[in-house]
Structure 1
Amino acid sequence: MDMASLLLANQTFGMQQAYSNQASKRCIRWRTVTAAISLENNHLPMRSFEVKHRTTVDDIRALRLITAIKTPYLPDGRFDLEAYDRLMHMQIAGGAEGVIVGGTTGEGHLMSWDEHIMLIGHTVNCFGSKIKVIGNTGSNSTGEAVHATEQGFAVGMHAALHINPYYGKTSIQGLIAHFDAVMLMGPTVVYNVPSRTGQDIPPPVINALAINPNLAGVKECMGNERIKGYTDKGVVTWSGNDDECHDARWMYGATGVISVTSNLIPGLMHSLMFEGENAVLRDKVMPLMKWLFVEPNPIGLNTALAQLGVIRPVFRLPYYPLPHEMRIEFVRIVKELGRENFVGQREVEVLNDDDFIIVGRY
C-alpha cells in the first residue's frame, strides 16, 4: 500500500471511530439525579420556583372584589393597550383586588393563544405589584389548557382560571381528571357556568377537588344555595352573578364576587363587598346589572364603555352593539346612578349605529 492509500485508510478509520463514539453518546440518556428519581412523574409543571413562592393559594382566597377585565381594541381589531392600561388603573383606584385576564368578559375565546399569553404577561409586568392577575388559561382540551397554564405562570400570573371542558363535555371522572391535570402548576380558580359550557360542575366534583392544595376556590354561577353548600364545607367561593353577589357575600358565605359590573362602577362594587350588608345600594345598582345582561356578556359592557368614552367603539365579531333604544336606556341609568360613580371622565353619550366599527378579521 502506498503512502497516500495508507493516509486515506487511517483518516477513514478515524472518522468511523468518531462517528461510532458520537452515536454511542446519543444512545446514552443523560439525566440528573433528581430527574432519575422523578421519572414516575408524567408531567412536570414548568412553573418557576420564584413564582411558586411569590403568591400563595391563601393570597388568592382572600380576594373579595375581582374584576373580569374588558379587552379594548383598535380600529383594526388589535389590542388597544393604552386603553387597557387606563382601565386597569381605574380598577386599582376603585378598589379591585384582582383581575381576570382574557375571561369571558375579556373575550379570551376570540384571542389567539399568543395574544392571550401576551396580555397576561403585559398585565403582570405593568400591574402585578398592585393587583392579583388571574389568567384564564382554560380550554376544552386538557392538553391545551395545561400548556397555556404553564405559559401563563411562566410570564408571572398569580393564579389560573379554569372552566370545565365545553361542547364535547365529559364524565364526572373526566372532569376530576381534567382539573387535577391543570391544577398542578399553581393556585387555581374553577369556574362553573353551565349556561356557557353546556355542563354543570356538580358538588361531588368540587368536593373531590377540594383536597388539592392548589384549589383556591370556585367561581359559581349556579346560585346562592350552591354557594352556601360549598362555604359550609370550607370551600372558598366567589359569586359569578353580579345581581346575586351582595346576598352571596353577606348571607351565603361567599368570599366575594368575580364581577362584570365593576368594570363600570368599581367603587360601588367595592362598597358592596367590603362595607357590610347594604340592601339600599344593592337595589340602586340592580337596574345597571340587569341592563348589562339583556344580551349575552360582554355585549352590554362593550357598548357601555364605548358610550362612556373609555374605549373605542370597536367590536370583534360575533359580538355586536346593543340596539339604539338600549343605548339610550344606558344614558338614563348613568344619570340616575351619578356619572361620578362610573369610570372615565367624558360625559356619557348615545352613540349612533355608524359610530361603531365591527371587525370580522382579527
Structure 2
Amino acid sequence: MSAFKSFTLRHSAFQFRADGSSRRNAKWRSPRAAIIPSFHLPMRSFEVKNRTSVEDIKALRLITAIKTPYLPDGRFDIEAYDSLVNMQIENGAEAVIVGGTTGEGQLMSWDEHIMLIGHTVNCFGGLIKVIGNTGSNSTKEAIHATEQGFAVGMHAALHINPYYGKTSLEGLVSHFDSVLPMGPTIIYNVPSRTGQDIPPRVIHTVAESANLAGVKECVGNDRVENYTKNGIVVWSGNDDECHDSRWSHGAVGVISVTSNLVPGLMHELMFGGKNPSLNAKIMPLIKWLFQEPNPIGLNTALAQLGVVRPVFRLPYVPLPLAKRVEFVKLVKEIGRENFVGKRDVQVLDDDDFILVGRY
C-alpha cells in the first residue's frame, strides 16, 4: 500500500490491513487544533514583522505620501517605485502613504491599489510603516478596501471623509465608525479637495475609538492646536506650514509631498528642532510644487530628476516649459545633493512627456 493511501485511509472510519481485511476504528479523533480552545499556528515571519500598534503610528514624524511612477503604457513602474521607497528609507522617512492623492490612488482600480499596498508591505514592511489609502466616498468601498489592505499587511489605513456627495455630521461619524474597528487609522481632512470640512466635533467623537491614531490636518495651525491641546495626534498636511505645526503648535510631524524630492531636508526639519533658516531655504521649492494641484508639480520634478519616466496618467499633465526651467534653477540653489536620484536635472522638452488616457 502506498504511503499516500495509508495516510488517507488512516483518517477515515475504517483502517485496511495489508491482506485487504478491515476493522472499524471506533476511537477516531479530530485534529488537535479543532478541539483545543485558542489554539493557533505559530505566526509566520512576515506577520510578526508587520504587526503594529496605534502607539507605533502615533509616534511617526516623517511620513511621505509616495509617488506612483508609470511605464510608457501606463502600468506601474515597480522598479522605479521600489527605488523611490528605498530613497525614502535611506533618508530617514518613517512611513509611506501608498495610493494617496500624491500617489494617484484616485486614478487606480482597487485591484491595482491593493496590489501596490501588498507589494510595499512585502518588500519594505520590516523597514518602514506602510499606510494604505483605503478611503472612499462610499462607505461600502471603504470597508471592503480597508479589509483587503489589512489582509495584505498594511500597518494603518488613511481615511478621507466622503467627498462630492458629502453627508451630515452624523453621517461622517457613522462612516468613520464603520472602518475604525479594523485597525490603526489616520483621518485625512482636506476640504479643498472634498468640499467639506471635518469639524472638531466629529474628530472628538470618533477619538473615543482606540484605533484612531490621529488626523492629517490641512485646515491650518489653529485647528492643529485645537486637537493637540486635547491630546489628539496631528500630522500637518501642508508642507508650507509643517515646521511651525511641529515646533509651535504640537503636531507630531508631517505627511509630506516635498519629502519625495528632498527627504533628508524634510527629516532634518521634523527631527532637528526649530530651524527657520532651513524652512526658508526649502519654501521656494514648496511653493513651486503646489502652484498647480498636487501631484502635477511633483510628477514633473521627479521626471526632470531622472528618477521616474516622464509618463502621466491623464488628467494630469506636466508643468509648462517655463516652470520646468524654474525647477532647474531651484535644484541648483538648494543643491543637487539634497535631491533624490543621481542624474543631472534636466529641463525636458514637451515631446519627452507621454500622456496616457487608457490604462
Whether TM-score is above 0.5 comes out as: yes
Q: By how many angstroms is 1:252 displaced?
A: 0.2
The residue identity in structure 1 corresponding to 2:339 is: F
Show the counterpart of 1:153. Answer: 150
Q: By how many angstroms is 1:184 displaced?
A: 1.3
Of 67, 72, 76, 2:73 maps to 76
Of 156, 170, 185, 1:188 maps to 185
| Alpha-carbon distance in 2 for matches of 1:289, 1:250 | 18
Show the counterpart of 1:109. Answer: 106
Percent identity of paired positions between Structure 1 and Structure 2: 77
TM-score normalized by the length of structure 2? 0.87
| Residue pair 1:68, 1:101 contacting (<8 A) in 2 also | yes
**What do you get for the CA RMSD once the two structures are aligned?**
1.3
Show the counterpart of 2:26. Answer: none
Show the counterpart of 1:209. Answer: 206
Q: By how many angstroms is 1:51 displaced?
A: 7.3
The residue identity in structure 2 corresponding to 1:150 is: E
Structure 2 gaps, min length 5 = 1-33, 36-46
| Alpha-carbon distance in 1 for matches of 2:209, 2:49 | 16
SS in 2 for 1:190: strand
- Alignment of 1:272 onto 2:269: yes
Q: By how many angstroms is 1:140 displaced?
A: 0.2
Of 209, 215, 218, 1:221 maps to 218
The residue identity in structure 2 corresponding to 1:324 is: L
Q: By how many angstroms is 1:100 displaced?
A: 0.1
CA deviation vs aligned residue, 1:296-337 (integer Å, no higher than 9, x gap) = 000000000000000000000000000000000000000000
Show the counterpart of 2:315. Answer: 318
| Alpha-carbon distance in 2 for matches of 1:165, 1:142 | 8
More helix by share: 1
Structure 1 gaps, min length 5 = 1-31, 34-49
The residue identity in structure 2 corresponding to 1:60 is: I
Q: By how many angstroms is 1:80 displaced?
A: 0.1
| Residue pair 2:235, 2:251 contacting (<8 A) in 1 also | yes
Paired residues for 1:118-267 under 5 Å: 118-267=115-264
| Alpha-carbon distance in 2 for matches of 1:203, 1:52 | 35
The residue identity in structure 2 corresponding to 1:66 is: I
CA deviation vs aligned residue, 1:129-183 (integer Å, no higher than 9, x gap) = 0000000000000010000000000000000000000000000000000000011
Paired residues for 1:304-343 under 5 Å: 304-343=301-340
| Alpha-carbon distance in 2 for matches of 1:220, 1:84 | 26
| Residue pair 1:51, 1:153 contacting (<8 A) in 2 also | no
Show the counterpart of 1:358. Answer: 355
The residue identity in structure 2 corresponding to 1:322 is: L
TM-score normalized by the length of structure 1? 0.86
Show the counterpart of 2:300. Answer: 303
Change (3 A) 1:53 1:125: closer
